[in-house]
Amino acid sequence: MLANYGYKDGSGEYFVTIDTDKCTSCPHHGCIDGCPEHIYEMITDDYDDNVSAVRRDVRNTLKYLCAACKPTTGRGVLPCMAACTPGAITHSW
């Protein structure tokens, strides 16, 4: 399932999308330690699968928390996306 976490406000849309079908086959869960702000956690979803999710307490502040990894110039691959070996994570902005 494509699980979307985030929000939209007057300045734009700030969603982190996790393809949880890719999470279930991932033995590493690199996202947990790969994010410098530790926004990810493992949860058991509706289908009893162990998948990654964005922590509930940070879902409304993603624009600011992720800002450090998103400089205006010279932006490389985001650490969370690099750490996610199955390629399950995408950012909307």
Partner 1 sequence: MAEFWRWKEYNWKDPDKDWKTAKMITAGIDVGSVSSQAVIATDGELYAYSSMRTGSNSPDSARKALEWALQDTGMKQENIQYVVGTGYGRVNVPFANKAITEIACHARGANFMAGNSVRTILDMGGQDCKAIHCDEKGKVTNFLMNDKCAAGTGRGMEVIADLLAVPIEQVGELSFNVPEEPEPVSSTCVVFAKSEAMGLLKDGWTKSKVLAAYCLAMAKRVSELLERIGVEKEFFITGGIAKNAGVVKRLEQVIGISAVQSKYDSQLAGALGAALFGQALLQKEKAAGKVA
Would you tell me which residues interact with partner 1 (CB under 8 A)? 1-2, 21, 46-48
In the complex, minimum distance from the CB of residue 47 to partner 1, in angstroms, rounded to a whole number: 7
**Distance from chain centroid for Cα 25:** 17
The distance of closest approach from Cβ of residue 1 to partner 1 in the complex, given in angstroms and rounded to an integer, is 5
In the bound state with partner 1, the residue whose beta carbon lies nearer, of 13 and 33, is: 13
From the CB of 57, what's the least distance to partner 1, in Å? 17
Q: CA-CA distances (angstroms) from residue 88 to 53, 58, 64, 73, 85?
A: 11, 19, 22, 25, 8
3-state class (DSSP) for residue 7: strand
Q: Which is nearer to partner 1, 1 or 68 (CB)?
A: 1
Measured from the CB atom, the residue of 47 and 64 that comes closer to partner 1 is 47
> 63 is written with which tokens?
């624009």
Q: Are 92 and 77 in contact (CB under 8 A)?
A: no
